[in-house]
Structure 1
């Protein structure tokens, strides 16, 4: 049929076909097969645009260059067809229909008695910045865990670190806040989002880098001389600024999202200070505990409510009071759990499992696990009618009775600053699309918020840095949940023109998955040391977390033994291994098959 039309008309018709439909057509039509073979680049570029892998104006070189800075999962791709293949495989892996690479690295002393306190992943340089429980900061190569650069435990104590666009921030032993920057960006004069940033900041600025920072930098450089001149700057950092008096002393909490650094200090306990990380200047003081900065808004997370403060505009009224949007609840947590959307496990058809199951392949510290084993899928369903009816008939709370707050523990905004999500200790996930509408008076939080009961106590929430679709949650039990806010984003059944899309439908196709192998009853509240595994980060291709590598290895090995119906060896226990409570740096990579 297509042969009856001119080539340009035929190609235009093919632009409305998904990759699945295109493949089916190629199998039944020899003429179409020849047409696609002669115009392969055009056809698969159209397919990449159809599936939203790239924008309509993107060239192949631009698409590969952008993604090459994100863990290199498109390295070696030289055609639109290969880009489509890899992206499709990546999405299949995320959905549990492919394979997952699971593994981890020990960070700390060689006998495993130390562990990871906190970490950040640098996708561009493919390094991991980690602070150990005994103190000290190391920068390690992602591929083999070797140390590229470090600061000793006499310089940086047990502390959280922040990393964004090459800027590294951590508390100083001198009670201030240190800002370092990737040495490669400084020496090569790299722009940061189109801006030229001069490092280090010098006097008379109150944020000027101090002498003790440069002494530590020289010691670190001499301790880790580079053996490869081509990569000599990889993983290294140089002092950029120091925030101390008159603004900062004994930092209580801080967060970094380039170009904004927000913090609370003992010098000003009831306010959030917002700094420009490039110049070290104070941009605004906002009068308020846990918070998260974004380009235009600041989210402040309290047990009783989440505040969204528009800090770039005037956030105070004529009387000096802070103006903010407030997400709060008046109902009891148990009633909110019953009235919220619920999780229902998605059963994978047996015929699908049999085609995907294979023996788990182990290579060093990495196991290639079938997705059906690694990822447990859930769909979101409304609460039952009987539950809603029971809630409506609840007795009123007696006057003077203690009211339990919702206990929000984390609130984060999407990378573009349009949406935000929050979690509570009682297992509730809040998803709020385009929250700026509330500020304009166009709607209220109660009308646009989707509330989901996860069935477990939650304690952390992280959004993916480069896109709006996925975020990851960590439960008090250390279990990991991945939230796909639009499961049909790349593979829509009926594509809808952008101009017809409604903000109310932004989170209409939510899917939640659970990383099965990163779940163990010996962790969580039963962990001997009682110290939470801090840190989780979501990238385009992987979930990085502080977990227990020994337990992960044990879980994978035990499942393979059960599948093969083999008896345990005499030197292997039939009971799951217990955790020593020391965190390893672990990952679940969905770039298998790339």
Structure 2
């Protein structure tokens, strides 16, 4: 009957099918196969729209490749095939490859990635800032360690770099190629130190194209010491202990000031500032006692708060401590493995049982150490210090009181073993990164990739019963994968940054203890030996019931804060040392800085404007570099 329909109606019908369904459809008969061959471009162009790789059927192939971060696709069918393999790589069904970027330095502290421009921006534990070519692994431009302070945190977006200088100032630099028709704002002009650093860098890194080069745009002088800052173009959010400020960076206007962020609410204060985040509607401040959501308006009213002392936050939860791991250690052919796959409501477990009261009484408050909005802005993800991730879809409805937090949220416990000690667990979480529909988390147990609603884009068509059952759950189709190849405890302990793009994970890694493998050797020829053979699409299709999972991938990267979250009460840390042992850990008394903080911990996003002591960072000197798990198929 399908063969008897006009060609136009057949094409419209096929436009609603997923990639896998299209592949199966052309195998139905010889006539169907011939129809596919004759109309291949139109069929797969429509499929690109269905899978959100193209906004509409009028977009060009080159633009669709750019949107999906898939370069050099030869046809619409090739684009969909590459995208399909990218998604299976992200979920551990086929294996990604591993790269190392030695040109970025051997004391890397922070990482920012611009895949469109093709470069990586890094700061160092010893000072300095580098811009490294993403494909040739060579330095394009740099600022010296005499200008950029040690352990500098940096933010990046839309061609702007923002990093802290000693004290409370923030330097703003702009991509040199964007200066053609731009004039720095008069109210916050760069000072002579920035101009001198610019001239020095221009002399050392001469270029006709100025690719990867930056020029000073402005200098922000804060009246008080800042604890954390976050740049989401075009706005920069800076928080002190009891105030928050928002600047419009292109014009350098202070557009929002929030006072008294520590006001007592629900018998608690915000506490030590750990992290800040914002989207178009909300400002998030993560404190040691509460996470608070403020309105992103001129008044900056407090709209909602979440205490950090709850044993559970959601009626839907997943707990990795109850699940066995298939591979205790990765190999060169097993970089990423699936740990959890929930296909419908029955796959989501009940909330974990409350902890015993005596342990709850002894447990310090579980800090909210980081929070991020997904690129679409509707989902908020928060990371707590004990290794728990809280995913809140439809955050606007929660803030407005239309739905309770416990019913809306999903709680994920990434501890690989049950809670052994509050003091140890308090040092557990390391870093959080977000993409569209994906979450990356680093803890002291490992590096995890969480894919939300993996079938939403149609790689595997869900059964009708699954859809009906799933309506009461926040994320019925979810996978959690673990990068078992990167499980060395000391390297995870030293990890200071994690970034996620549409195609890759970037993170700092403690080089001497990288997994010994021809594909991960610490040498200049690593890139030549890093490719891991990928299964063909036919082989992946044969996986059958093991799953051809779907995820929603998009460009997004996590931007960190310059806070000093690593500081903890001395007695808690001493308790932790006693439990961990002294064989691989520093002696706290010897390594404590002038503020009572522990530079080595660098737990989530640690840097304090008020401290620049780096004497203890030499423990990781010449050892920490940038590693990339590249999920893009070759």
The TM-score normalised by the length of structure 2 is 0.72
Give the Å deviation of 1:54. 2.8
Q: CA deviation at 1:373?
A: 4.3
CA 1:133–1:23 in structure 2 vs 1: closer, same or farther (change >3 Å)?
A: same
Report the counterpart of residue 98 of structure 1 in structure 2.
94
Per the alignment, residue 220 of structure 1 pairs with 201
Q: Report the Cα offset of residue 249 of structure 1.
A: 5.0
How many Å apart are 1:501 and its aligned residue? 13
Gaps of 5+ in 1: 190-197, 317-322, 350-356, 361-368, 526-531, 561-576
- What's the CA shift string for 1:426-468, capped at 9, x where partnerless? 121100011111232212212211111111532321112xxx2
Kept in 2: contact 1:421–1:430 (CA 8 A)? yes
Match of 1:194 in 2: none
Match of 1:186 among 179, 186, 195: 179
In 2, the alpha carbon distance for the partners of 1:439 and 1:421 equals 14
Q: How many Å separate the matches in 2 of 1:340 and 1:303? A: 23
Q: Secondary structure at the residue paired with 2:516?
A: helix
TM-aligned CA deviation for residue 552 of structure 1: 3.3
Distance 1:243 1:58, change over 3 A: farther
Mind listing any 5+ residue stretches in structure 2 that lack a counterpart?
262-272, 417-427, 522-528, 530-583, 586-618
What residue number does 1:511 align with? 479
2: CA distance, partners of 1:476 / 1:256: 27
Deviation, structure 1 residue 524: 4.1
Residue-pair matches, total:
504
- In structure 1, C-alpha distance between the alignment counterparts of 2:290 and 2:341, rounded to whole Å: 27
Q: Which moved more, 1:416-425 or 1:147-156?
A: 416-425
Secondary structure of 1:27's counterpart equals coil
- SS of 1:341's equivalent? strand
Shift of 1:495: 8.7
**Matching residue within 285, 300, 324 for 2:285:** 300
Kept in 2: contact 1:69–1:124 (CA 8 A): no
Which structure carries more relative contact order (alpha carbon 8 Å, separation 6+)?
2
Deviation per residue, 1:267-326 (Å, 9 max, x gap): xx410111111111101111321211222211111122211111226333xxxxxx2211
Aligned 8 A contact 1:338 1:383 in 2:
no
**Mapped contact 1:176–1:249 kept (Cα < 8 A):** no
- Is 2:289–2:309's contact at 8 Å kept on the other side of the alignment? no
2: CA distance, partners of 1:211 / 1:76? 44
Deviation at 1:52, TM superposition (A): 3.4
Residue of structure 1 in register with 2:423 after alignment: none
**Which stretch of structure 1 is more off in the superposition, 22-31 or 372-381?**
372-381
What is the aligned partner in structure 1 of residue 19 from structure 2? 19
Query: What corresponds to 1:326 in structure 2?
Result: 305
Shift of 1:217: 1.0
- Residues of 1 paired with 2:520 and 2:630: CA distance? 21
Shift of residue 99, structure 1, vs aligned partner: 2.9
1:65 has 2:63 as partner: yes
Displacement of 1:137 in angstroms is 0.8
Which of 239, 248, 256 is 2:231 aligned to? 256
1:312-351 map, 5 Å: 312=297, 314-316=299-301, 323-328=302-307, 331-332=310-311, 340-343=317-320
Any idea what SS the aligned residue of 2:126 has? coil
Q: Which residue of 2 aligns with 1:142?
A: 134
Structure-2 residue corresponding to 1:126: 118
Deviations 1:115-147 (A, max 9, x none): 101121122211111111111111111112211
Q: Does residue 588 in structure 1 map to residue 629 in structure 2? A: yes
CA distance in 1, matches of 2:81, 2:341: 26
2:384 pairs with 1:424: yes
Alignment RMSD: 3.5
Tell me the TM-score normalized by structure 1. Answer: 0.77
Work out the CA distance in 2 between the residues paired with 1:584 and 1:219.
Answer: 25
| Partner Cα separation in structure 1 for residue 71 and residue 306 of structure 2 | 43
Counterpart of 1:5 in structure 2 is 5
